[in-house]
Each structure stands twice: as C-alpha cells, then as structure tokens.
Structure 1
Amino acid sequence: MSALPLPDPQRAWAYRPASPLPGAAQGPLAGLTFSVKDLFGVPGWPLQASTRAPVPDPGPSPLVARLLALGASAAGKTHLHEIALGITGHNGHGGTEHPFWPGHVPGGSSSGAAVSVALEQVDFALGTDTGGSIRIPAAWCGVAGFKPTKDHPAWPTQGILPLSPSCDHAGPLARDVQTIARVHGALTGQPVHPAPWAGVRVGLWLPSGWVTPEVEAATHAVAAQVQALGATVEPVTFPEVLDAYSPTVLGEAAAVHRAALAQGDPPFLPFTLAALRQGAALTEAERGAAQARRAAYRAELDALFARAQVLLAPTVPCPPPLIGQEELALPGGPVPLRRAVLRLTAPFSLLGVPVVAWPSPTPFVGVQLVGRAGQDDHLLGLALGLEGAQ
C-alpha cells in the first residue's frame, strides 16, 4: 500500500513515501528521480515482491545506496510480476496495466518500472532481468532498457530478492538511451560516448515464424538504419534455449522460496505456486543436464560472436497482448505466450551478455542490440549513435 495515495490507475506503484529519498545535492545524477522495483532492499521501505506470500529479506541494496550517493532521488517502489516469475505483470495485488493501451499487459516482470518511466513519473527505473524482465516491458511500453553483463560491478545484485541467482541481472529503464548511458557512466566513473556503426558486423537473428509481420518489419527497419550508418548485416541462427533456461530458473527459484513452500499451501498465485513446485521436484540429474545444455549454448554464442560483433534481434514477438491472453498466433503456428516471448529474450540472460532494448519505429514492439560479455560501454555507445541518428 502506498504511504501517499496518489492516482495510479495502472497499479504500477507498490509503495510511495510522502517524500522521495533525496540524493546527494552535488552528485552527477542530481536532479534525476528513479523508481525501485520491489525486489530491492531499501531501509525503511517494505519489500513484498508483489506477492501475498512471505519472502526472504535480501538486506539493503548497495546499488540503490550508490545511486542516492550519486545524486538521484528515489521516488518509491514499483510492482512486478509476482516474485519476478513471469512476463506480463500479473501479481497478487491486481496486476499492472499497460500505460497507454487499457486492457493490455505492460510486460514483466519489471512492469511497474516500465510504466513509471513511460508515464514520465520518474527519469529512470531500477529493474531486474532474469529472462527478459527489463527488455520485455521496455519493448511493450515503448521505452529503452539495459541488461548489463552478468555480475557487472556497477550493477550489483546483492540486496535484491533473487529469482535465479545464476541468471539475475540488475539494470535500468528510461525513455531514452542517453539517460541510461548517463546513469551507467556515473556508476562506472567512465562517460559513455556515441560509437560509430561504420564497419560494425551485425548478426541479424530473426527466426522464421517466431514474430508477427509488424515485428518482422520493425526489425528489418532497424537493420536498414544501422546499414545506412555503415554497418554490415548478415542473417544468423541460434537455437531456442528454454530446455536449459526453464529448469535452471525454476530450480533456483524453488530454493530461494523454500521456506514459503514448506508451509504446504502458501498464498502465491496458482501459476507461481505450480512453477515453484515444479522446480522443487527437479532431480539432480535434470538440473545437471540443464547446465550441460547451458554450456553448449554458451559455446554456440561464442562462435556466433566470432562472426558478428553485435547481434540485432526482436525483443518481443508481437505488440502488447491482452490481459489474460495465454496463446499467441504466429506465422509458425499458435504458441503459448510465455514461450513465444522468452525464447527471444532468455538466451541472453541465461548466457550473461549485455543487451540494450531499443524502442523500434513501430509502437510497442522493440529490438535488442546484443554485445559480447564485458563490452557494455561499447554496446551503449552504439545505441547512443543509433539514437542520435534518429
């Protein structure tokens, strides 16, 4: 419940104090405001992870403390898909609605984060991304997002209630890449500058039948933009990784929420509870097989980056679906919505490489710019260069 009742028809906010936590007056981020996904520990603020079930206390987030020290002010906490285990924004408090299309989902799990940015309630938002949870709501709400390299020192996951510790990332959403680059540069102490696209080898990952015609057209439009800036674009292939991703995430999530599951009938939503119990039932052999597949996919991605410096791919398979929609009609046939979305985003969180979610010319779909691990600043620089060319 908000400490200060303000209009929130989208149900984006989990907690808004009477006044923001002020940032340092002279910091490089002074004047900026940010929202905090309700997985981050903030002293004096509640943490519920948008569920009615009990959750562990992760302790205070050093990332929130660092942003405050750099001058940004924290406006409050935003809702998410329950415990971050989902892509739509559904939760135990009614769920979050799209900022501009009533009756449609904003994406998740960082649903409130994206809505708070899209509605210009804050300058940037802190989210988390385990399988696409920054990038999916960024695409469906028409904003930008950034998932850094796994374990990037500027974006610590300590003090965040985990979903899957080996896949979790912390990162920002904002209305433009320039703001994201400003925040990243303040955290690292190294300014991010626009990078040229001339001579950059781009691998276009656009699996046949996986996206609607408008998403395919939007992705090709961005490919044409980077070609016009001097890049070369070549189609590439990469497999679906959910056979490694799902057992990894569900097994680790069940371990995180072991105490709640021990209650027998904890008050998670039915899908969440079923998914956690599925994770708890995995055998050691099943978990080991998933990690072997993960290693094989990592080797395959490394081989892909030997040919391409950057990958360009759709972020989502379709415009924002209706609340409650569970299946998606695609050129390749009907697919469960969760699978249709995650197979585009999960590879890059499973394998820990940096990604910028870029809002494409078509409203509420987007593309991903994917870089090699550790190349975060260059990837952001390329995104800045693309943004500056608009």
Structure 2
Amino acid sequence: MTEERPATNPETPPNETPPKDPAASTDQEGLGGDQGRAALRQIVNGNAAISFLAIVVALVLGGFLIALADERVQEAAGYFFARPFDLLGAAWTSVSDAYVAMFRGAVFDWRAASFADSIRPITESFVYAIPLILAGLGISVGFRAGLFNIGAQGQIIVGAILASYIGFAWDLPIGLHLILAILGALVGGALYGAIPGVLKATSGANEVIVTIMLNWIAVYGIAWTLKQAVFNPGRSGQRSPAVLDSALYPRLIPDWLVPGNSFRLHWGLVVAILATLFVWWLLERSTIGFQLRAVGANPHAARTAGMSVGRITVITMVIAGGLAGLAATAQVLGTERSLTAGVAASYGFDAITVALLGRSRPLGTFLAGLLFGALKAGGSLMQRITATEIDIILVVQSVIVLLIAAPPLVRSIFRLPDPDAPSRAPVTKKEAAA
C-alpha cells in the first residue's frame, strides 16, 4: 500500500516557498504613498445614514454638556440619592428648553408677535448658510479629485477684496455692476486657488501646507489692504467704503410684501442654488468632471488612461477657489456691504465640516450648509433665552467632524454591520457537527 503525498508544484523545489508576485509587491510598496488618498475616499464614499447618526450622537453629547453646565442640574445632583428624579427632571428641562429655543431661533418662532417675526429665523438660517454652501461646494470639488483644499479662508478673503473694490470704486448701471462684482469675487478666488494647484502640478508641493500658508498671507494681506487710501480714505483701517446700491444683492423678500421689511435674506441664496446645480452637472455630466473623479479615485490609472493629472489638479483648484470666492459675495454684497478684516469669519474652515458632512456631494453639501446655518442662527436665541453658552454649537460641530471621519466608530456605537466587510460563508452541517 503506497503512502499518499501532497501534490507539489514540480517547478518549486521542496522546502522552498514560492516566489512572491511582483505585482503584489509593487502594490504594497505604493500603499504607503496612497494611504491619505484612500482615507479620503473612505470618508467621501460613506452613506447618508452615517451622517445622520453622527448628527444624532453630536446632539446627544451636546445635551449632556448643556445639562452639566446648568445650575439647577448641579443643585439637584447634590441630593441625587434622596430624590433621583429631581436630577432627571432638571436635566430634561434644561436640555429641552435649550433645543426648543434653538429651533425657535433657526426655523420658526411661534411665540413671536407677528407672522413676519415668526418666519424671520428660517431666513436668518439661509443667510448664514449661503457662504457655507458656496465654500463647501469648492472644498467638495477638491475632495472628489483627491485634494485637501484647506485654503477656502484665504480664497474668500481675496474674492472679498476684489468684489468690494468693484462695488464701491466703479459706478456702473444696476445689474451690470452686480454681475461684475460677482465675477470679480469669482476670479479673485479662482486665481488664489490656482496657486496651490500649479505648485502641486509642477513641483508636487503638498496642497495642505501651501493652502494653509496662503490663508495667513490673505489674513495679513487684507489688514494691509484696509490701510491703503483707496480702501479706507482718511479712516482707521477697519472698514472700506460702503458698496454702492447698484452692486448689492437685492432682497429676496421685497419691501412691498412685508411692511417695515428688515429681512436680510438676499439673492445670494439663488446664486448658491445655481452653484449647487453647476457642481452637480460638472461632476456627474461633464467630461472634466469624469476626469476629475477618475484622478481622485486612482491617479495612476487615470494617467495610464491618458489623462493629465497635473492639468486636472490645476482645474480643480481653480474651480474650488472660484466657488470660495463666490462665498465672499454673501458678506460683501449681501449682509456686511463693505470690506472688513473679519469678512471671512470662520466660513472657510466651517466649510470643511460642511463638505465632510455632505459627503462631497452637491445636494449633501447644500443640506449640510443649511444645517450649520440653522445651528448658527439658533444658537444666538438659545444663549439669550436659556443662558446656554453658544460654544456648545462648536462642540456639536466638532463631534460631527470626528464621527464623519471615523465611520467605524458610528457603526460600533449603533452596532451596524460594515458594508465593506467580506461576507461569511454559510456553515455546513458537517462543520456544525464538528
């Protein structure tokens, strides 16, 4: 009776491991250089449920902080073991009052004296959302191309400088003046965005570092600009001359509709909607958008297919910068109506959160911008009525970013299955018996 031996490859000597696949080795070597791009794709390609659950977790955590900071809750905690329901009741009252006040300040105030005052909160949410949507769209375009555009803050500032100059220094007819001011902001942001794009395409410079440095150049640049005679003749260097009425966004709610109209909502919202439609068309229906997404998915494969990765990089940063420049018009031509050192506020950095929450999709970014605009508008009334610190809003935003960047953490909290995990083979009867 012969002994059976395991089959071996005749080309492989005994006691010797087969050679490694060169292609696999090459992939492993290139993995380290593409880890950042792979992480970005993982964040961008998450589903809407993760975003929604991240918001829920952030609001719950914000509720805990609101309760902890409330004096009534702290007092009830002192005799918790004697009357534990007093603590629970005080915590519920504190959190519910704060979030109800936030809703009244962001969506609809049913306690207002008039209908106009009741709907004013939703209009203020739109006002705050306009620059977030436009800048968020620019960052989303960069994300889809695999680029971390951290320079929206500087691009907003440069766009604001050009838009304000055209707005107060040029005397043009109504309509034409506004269009040229909008184009000035778009061109200013696009040119400033082109700088990191060209540097990355020609020298491989890291766009994160370059855009952060350009942000600081813009911050000090606007401080210098406001001290020049053209922008501040005979003044202290804090504010430019007012933009002429012919270059301002018209109010979206006309004066004849609401007596004593004090609504700040303007036609910048229409610009944000049109920009959202344009980005959708660009990414989903245009040749440039297909190449942009291909470079973001795999630049090596895109280069092999004949696409110019450097050219797409420059185009992407120009488009992203132009959209960020448009965000400046919401301030200069809409609400502030002049150039100030704080014209960009923190919109450029908040827009990163908006793009992440929106999963770098145009509709998602638009809705995320509305959410953050509502949080900002509602936070003011919440602080005024309940004495809750408005910094809670920043905590909520930060937690959303943390959870959006770590989808496995959200799945573990809610015990959700990982869609990317390999499916387990069914257990046979023989395996079950063993």
TM-score under structure 2 length normalisation: 0.23
Richer in helix (by share):
2
TM-score (norm 1): 0.25
Larger Rg: 2
Relative contact order, higher structure (CA 8 A, sep 6+): 2
